[in-house]
Every structure is written in C-alpha cells, then in structure tokens.
Amino acid sequence: MDAARSVQKRELILERALEVFVAHGYVGTTTDQLAAAASVSKQTLYKEFGDKEGVFAALIRFACDRVDDPFAPLVDQMRNIDSADDAVALMATQFSRSIMSPYVQQLRRLVIAEATRFPDLGQLYWEEGFLRVVNSVARCLSILDERGMMEIPEARLAAHHFAGLLLWIPSNQTMFAATMPLGEQELIETITAGSQAFLRAYRVNAA
C-alpha cells in the first residue's frame, strides 16, 4: 500500500471511530465495533493504533490537527469593513455555524465526557481547538479597536465573551437535550441576540 492510501485508510478509521465513540461512549466501545465501522480487521486496528486507547488518542489529535480556523480569512476583512455592526454580524455567523457543525459538536461531547479519563487530550483540544479559534476572534476584535469602531481593551477576554454569548444556548442545548436539536430559526435568533448584546457591551462610547 502506498503512503497516500495508507494515510487515507488511517483517516477513514478515525472518522468512523468518532461515530462509534459518540454512540457508545469510550467505555462502551469495543475494538470489534471500531474495526467493523471502518471495514478493517482487528489486526489492522491493533497494528495502526495499538489498542482502543490508542484509537481514541489518535482521534483527538487528528481532530485538533484538522481544526479549520474560520476567522483567518476575516482578519483582512476587518481592516476594510464599513461598520462594527457589519463586522460583528459577519464574525458571529461564521463563528456560530462553524462551532455548531454536527462534527464539532460530536467531538466536543466526546472530549468533555472523557476529559477526566484523558486529561492531556482534553487539554490538547482546549488549546489547539477552542483557544485557537478564540485567538483568531481576538485578532479581529483588535483590528476593530485599532480602527476606533469598538472599545476593546482586552481582546482575548472580549473574544471569550463573544463566544459565550453565541454558544451558551445552542451548544448547551445540543450537549444536554440531544432529542431537541436546535432549529435553523433558533440558531439565527441566537446569533442575532448574541451579536446585539456584544455590540452593546463593546460599542464605542457604550454606557
């Protein structure tokens, strides 16, 4: 098997592993289930990852390596955007829709559930996943502050406020009320309300 096919096979195993771990939890998942989901033998699984713990660790590292920074393309836009309202609306939509994707929410649920069992992996996901995105939000906000469009003395703290206003409702509902998925209209309303609250807090000359 050439190197490219080997990488593709490994990635397929990890993508299927996420579905199995989310469905059954770490403890309830077996190597038989992991192998069957990826249509490989248990011998292949053991050779590639060692054991179930190896699969789980590789899955979290793989996910962190694939974190797509949704704000990288927005940094330059912040330098030319016309208003704080437009800037925050653009950022809020991009942020909410990227974080609320089914893949990210499944992974988040899994990492949270197993953070005590695998603290190093939980720390890795926090730093390489969530904080990476928060730092990009902070860069965007710093530009708006430099342009005099918003008052943001501590950009990283403001970025955490931004995330909280947008994620508290939809992400918690997804985590705890799995039988009540957030509808499109609810997500739009949450984005709008969160954006308005953030603007009230950080708009220039805000009371």
pLDDT at 178 over 80: no
How deeply is 85 buried, as exposed, middle or buried, from its count of CB atoms within 10 A (0-12, 13-18, 19+)?
middle
- In terms of average pLDDT, the best of 131-140, 144-153, 166-175, 177-186 is 144-153
| Structure confidence at residue 174 as a pLDDT band (50, 70, 90) | confident
What residue spans define the domains of the chain?
3-64, 68-202
Return the H-helix or E-strand segment holding 173: helix 155-176
Residue range 68-202 in CATH 1.10.240.10: no
For residues 69-79, average pLDDT: 81
What does the pLDDT look like over 29-68, one tens digit per residue? 999 999 999 999 999 899 889 899 999 999 888 888 776 6
Distance CA 137, CA 128 (A): 14
pLDDT beyond 80 at 85 = yes
Q: Does residue 154 surpass a pLDDT of 80?
A: yes
The CA angle 182-170-96, to the nearest 5 degrees, is 105
Task: Please list the alpha-helical segments (H only) found in 29-149.
Answer: 31-38, 42-49, 52-65, 74-78, 84-99, 102-113, 119-125, 131-146
Full-model pTM: 0.81
Q: Indicate the CATH number of 3-64 among 3.30.420.40, 1.10.10.60, 3.10.180.10, 3.40.50.12780.
A: 1.10.10.60
User: Are the C-beta atoms of 63 and 125 separated by less than 8 Å?
Assistant: yes
Instruction: Specify the range with the lowest mean pLDDT, choosing from 81-90, 129-138, 187-196.
Output: 129-138
pLDDT at 80: 92
Percentage of the chain lying above the pLDDT 90 cut: 45
CB-based burial, 151-167: b 16+ in 10 Å, e otherwise: ebeebeebbebbbebbb
User: Cα dihedral sign for 63, 116, 162, 187?
Assistant: positive
* DSSP character at residue 127: I
**Do 17 and 55 form a contact (C-beta atoms < 8 A)?**
yes
pLDDT tens digits, one per residue of 108-132:
888 888 999 999 989 988 988 888 8
